[in-house]
Every structure is written in C-alpha cells, then in structure tokens.
Structure 1
Amino acid sequence: MSAAASPAPRPKGTRQRGVISRLLIAAEGPLSVPELHSRALTELPSLGVATVYRTLKLLQEQGAAHIVTLDGENLYEASGRGHHHHFACRSCGRVFTLSTCPVALPPGTVYPGGFVVEAHEVTLYGQCPACAAAQG
C-alpha cells in the first residue's frame, strides 16, 4: 500500500476531545466529571476518567470550556454561552443553565457601601420541573 493511499494519522485524543466537547455543548447545564465520563462511555467504552480530566484541562486552556464551582464541586460547561446563571435541583441533583438573568445588576453598578460591581453569578436552588411534577 502506498503512503498516499493510507489515511493520515489522527492526533491522539481527537476523538475523545470531540465527544467530550459535543457532550458539553449539548448539556442542559454544567456537568461533573463523573456525569461527563458516564455519558462519554456510551460512545467511547474504554474511556478512562483520567482522559476526561486531561481533556477538560486542554479544553479550558483552549477557551472551549470553563469551570463552574457549585457547592464546592467543580462542574464543567462549554464556553461562549454568554451571560447566564444556574438552577440546581435539590431532588435529582441536576444543574440547569438559565437563559435569563434574575438580577438587574450591570457591571459598573455601585452597590451600597461603595462596592463596584464587575460581574455576578447566581445559582438558584429548588426543584426542577420533572421533580416538582413528580411530587405534585
């Protein structure tokens, strides 16, 4: 077989990065490493959790993903979603991205006491629609 007929070698991890990136983009909220690993295993059965950590670190370095710290736990989501906040369901534990901001506090606002706002993060807690309906 000639060199021209053989496929070009793929850089190591390209498939893993693609799957993990796609899962982050499709998620309805930030994901923990165990959640991301579990979802990725459906496409990559031999994927190790260490590879998930390495891939997330690389995606962060590239600006494609970032960390959301919620109750002391690092969760990961795709970058580029603009200003948004999160809702954490206390029943099922899932975290959802909220597309609207519940706080009208633009950067530059001077908060009482002289605090100058540069940014804000809000996490709402309660029951997601599915859990609320199940209790209803």
Structure 2
Amino acid sequence: MKRTRSQANIVHVLKSLSHPISAQDLYIEMKNRDLGLGLATVYRSLEALKLDGEVQVRQLPNGEAVYSLVHQDQHHLTCVNCGQSFPIDQCPVHDLEKKLEISHQFKVYYHTLEFFGLCHLCHGGE
C-alpha cells in the first residue's frame, strides 16, 4: 500500500507509543512533535489505515475509540465501574478465525475479545 505523508507520520507516532491512543490525543501528540495535521486529516488517515489493515480501533466503555497498529490481537478484561482495562494473553479465537477466513473467503486483519464486569477493587475482592 502506498501511504500518504500524513499516514506515514501517524504510523511513525503509533509505533513509538506503548498504548492505544484516541484520535484527539494523537492529534495533540503529533502537534507536540511538530508533525502538525488537522484533526480531520488525523481522522481520515486513521480510517484509511484501518481499511488497509494497518490500524485497529477499540471502543472503550465510555464510548471513546482508541487506535493502535495491528501487530497482535487485543484481548481485555474491562471494568464497567472504573473503566480500567486489563490485557489478557490467552486467545481461544485463533482457530475459529482461520476457519472463518476459509469458509467465508474473508481476510481477517485482526480481532478483539473483551470481557466486561467488575475489577477486584470495584467488587470488593469477593
């Protein structure tokens, strides 16, 4: 895929981060690095990168979308009370993903698996 300069700058910034980031925070981060892009350009570039399978998006419980590079699948336990997300390493979906690609002739870029509930602090350690 041929990237625009804006897309290349976004990929560069996302590579340097250790966590997913919202489009608004990415806009601020790029501005701080003198890679200023308009907010609309950040959104358009993220959308194009998502459609090309380079960026994945995850919805947080508060409705905010956060973006990261597609380098591995993301799995989380997310507390509906405090909003904290805890990454988990196990993935029971990989075999299903391969079967679906074959049976539906569908190229899977990534998948997410998220469980919602209460963390040990919010439910009192019961």
TM class, shorter-length: 0.5 to 0.7
Task: Kindly state the Cα deviation for residue 55 of structure 1 after the two structures are TM-superposed.
Answer: 0.6
Matched letter for residue 76 of structure 1:
Y
Q: Counterparts of 1:13 and 1:26 in 2: how far apart (Å)?
A: 19
Q: Which structure is higher in helix share? A: 2
Are positions 1:79 and 2:73 aligned together? no
Give ranges in structure 1 of 5+ residues lacking alignment. 1-10, 109-118, 127-136
SS at match of 1:121: strand
- Name which one, 1 or 2, has greater alpha-carbon Rg: 1
Residues 12/84 of structure 1: CA separation in 2 closer, same or farther (3 Å cut): closer
Q: Is the 8 A contact 1:30 1:95 kept in 2?
A: no
- Percentage identity across aligned positions? 24
Give ranges in structure 2 of 5+ residues lacking alignment. 97-110, 120-126
SS at match of 1:80: coil
What is the aligned partner in structure 1 of residue 27 from structure 2?
A: 37
Structure 1-normalised TM-score?
Answer: 0.54
> Aligned pairs, how many?
100
Backbone CA RMSD of aligned residues: 3.4
Superposed counterparts of 1:80-95, under 5 Å:
80-81=71-72, 83-86=73-76
What is the aligned partner in structure 2 of residue 23 from structure 1?
A: 13
